[in-house]
């Protein structure tokens, strides 16, 4: 390599009549520029439809409104630790291994998943304690409405989406429904059928009333569905005419629902979901 550079610079030196150091620099420049150009061309070529069919990305994308606990879940998944957070201003993304068995056994025993989809495999599957996953890329995307556009752009990079909802924050459900509507009519979701796990977070806050608790989780999903139902009129067609909108049936992509708690580190449904998606 150096040999070649020296030879080339010699040639430049001779032909242009410049000093040898300048010539050397020039040669380096030429090389750099050509590398740059090659890469550039490569980028353009690979970006312009030579790829056969678009496929999903490779990241697990955390979405959901402000304060639903995305950042909390992100660090729980990564380090198993609890962190202090403020509202995120930009995405946090990292590749890491997920060890599904880290959660306390007691938590494992409890079945958190709402059996909304009969026969949904992850509902019954309990994670093996030693099962490892990844490393896989997880992205925590800020929930602020102003970032919505960018969040939707991220969909094409996602293998699957974990959509967090604060089970206690009822007023936000309108926003959630609106976001689902955007996602369900988003060209990327329509084309890629990106699977979504709707996870009702902060279930620890209502855990005292165990029986009611499950009903409440369902409540939230139903509430979202009611809101979507309303939007079908204002925004046009989604779902099946004459039928009430059901998330798990009428969405253009596979949807599951579950309850979790980042605070209590009860995230088994998410581990299972990720295992399923990244198997």
Q: What residues line the site for ligand GTP (CB under 6 A)? A: 64, 66-72, 85, 87-88, 142-143, 201-202, 204-205, 261-263
Element (H, E) at 257: strand 255-259
Name the nearest CA neighbour of 137 among 59, 70, 55: 59
User: Taking CB within 5 to 8 Å according to partner kind, which of other proteins, ligand GTP, Mg ion, none is near residue 262?
Assistant: ligand GTP
**41 touches other proteins by CB under 8 A:** no
**In angstroms, rounded to a whole number, what is the distance separating the alpha carbons of residues 69 and 272?**
19
Least distance (Å) between residue 72 CB and other proteins: 9
Least distance (Å) between residue 213 CB and other proteins: 28
User: Taking CB within 5 to 8 Å according to partner kind, which of Mg ion, ligand GTP, other proteins, none is near residue 149?
Assistant: other proteins
Q: DSSP assignment, residue 276?
A: H
**85 touches other proteins by CB under 8 A:** yes
Find the binder of other proteins among 10, 91, 134, 252 (CB under 8 A). Answer: 91
Least distance (Å) between residue 121 CB and ligand GTP: 25
When the beta carbons of 3 and 81 are compared against Mg ion, the nearer one is 81
Query: 173-184 and 210-235 helices cross at what angle (nearest 10)?
Result: 50
Is residue 177 within 8 Å of 162, Cβ to Cβ?
A: no
Contacts of 80 (CB under 8 A, 6+ apart): 99, 102, 265
Q: Which residues pair with 62 in a beta bridge?
A: 140, 162
When the beta carbons of 70 and 179 are compared against ligand GTP, the nearer one is 70
Q: Which whole-number Å values give the CA distances from 93 to 62, 75, 78, 251, in the listed order?
A: 10, 11, 11, 27
DSSP 134-186: EEEEEEE----GGGHHHHHHHGGGEEEEEEEEETT-GGGHHHHHHHHHHHHT-
Start-to-end C-alpha separation, the chain: 43
Least distance (Å) between residue 45 CB and other proteins: 10
When the beta carbons of 117 and 205 are compared against ligand GTP, the nearer one is 205
Segment near other proteins (CB under 8 A); pick from 101-109, 110-118, 120-128, 136-144: 136-144
Find the binder of other proteins among 136, 165, 173, 175 (CB under 8 A). Answer: 175
Find the binder of Mg ion among 9, 71, 206, 256 (CB under 5 A). Answer: 71
**253 touches other proteins by CB under 8 A:** no
User: Taking CB within 5 to 8 Å according to partner kind, which of ligand GTP, Mg ion, other proteins, none is near residue 44?
Assistant: other proteins
Segment near other proteins (CB under 8 A); pick from 13-21, 183-191, 216-224, 257-265: 183-191
Element (H, E) at 92: strand 92-99
Contact set with Mg ion (CB under 5 A)? 70-71, 88
């Amino acid at each position: 390599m150096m040999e070649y550079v020296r030879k080339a610079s010699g040639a430049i030196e001779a032909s242009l009549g410049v000093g040898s150091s300048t010539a050397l620099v020039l040669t380096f420049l030429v090389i750099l520029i050509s590398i740059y150009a090659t890469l550039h061309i490569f980028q353009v070529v690979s970006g312009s439809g030579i790829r056969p069919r678009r496929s999903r990305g490779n990241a697990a994308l955390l979405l959901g409104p402000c304060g639903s606990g995305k950042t909390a879940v992100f660090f729980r998944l990564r380090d198993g630790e609890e962190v202090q957070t403020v509202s995120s201003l930009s995405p946090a993304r990292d590749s890491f291994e997920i060890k599904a068995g880290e959660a306390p056994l007691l938590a494992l025993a409890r079945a958190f998943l709402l059996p909304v989809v009969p026969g949904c495999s992850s509902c019954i599957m309990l994670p093996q304690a030693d099962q490892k996953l990844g490393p896989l890329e997880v992205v925590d995307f800020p929930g602020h409405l102003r970032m919505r556009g960018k969040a939707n752009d991220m969909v094409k990079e996602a293998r699957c989406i974990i959509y967090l909802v604060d089970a206690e924050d009822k007023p936000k459900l309108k926003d959630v429904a609106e976001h689902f509507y955007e996602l369900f009519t988003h060209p990327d979701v329509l084309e890629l059928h990106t699977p979504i796990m709707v996870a009702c977070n902060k279930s620890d806050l209502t855990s005292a009333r165990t029986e009611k608790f499950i009903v409440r989780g369902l409540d939230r999903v139903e509430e979202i569905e009611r809101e979507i139902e309303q939007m079908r009129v204002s925004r046009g067609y989604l779902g099946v005419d004459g039928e009430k909108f059901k998330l798990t049936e009428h969405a253009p992509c596979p949807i599951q629902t579950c309850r979790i708690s980042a605070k209590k580190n009860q995230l088994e449904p998410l581990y299972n979901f990720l295992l399923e998606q990244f198997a």
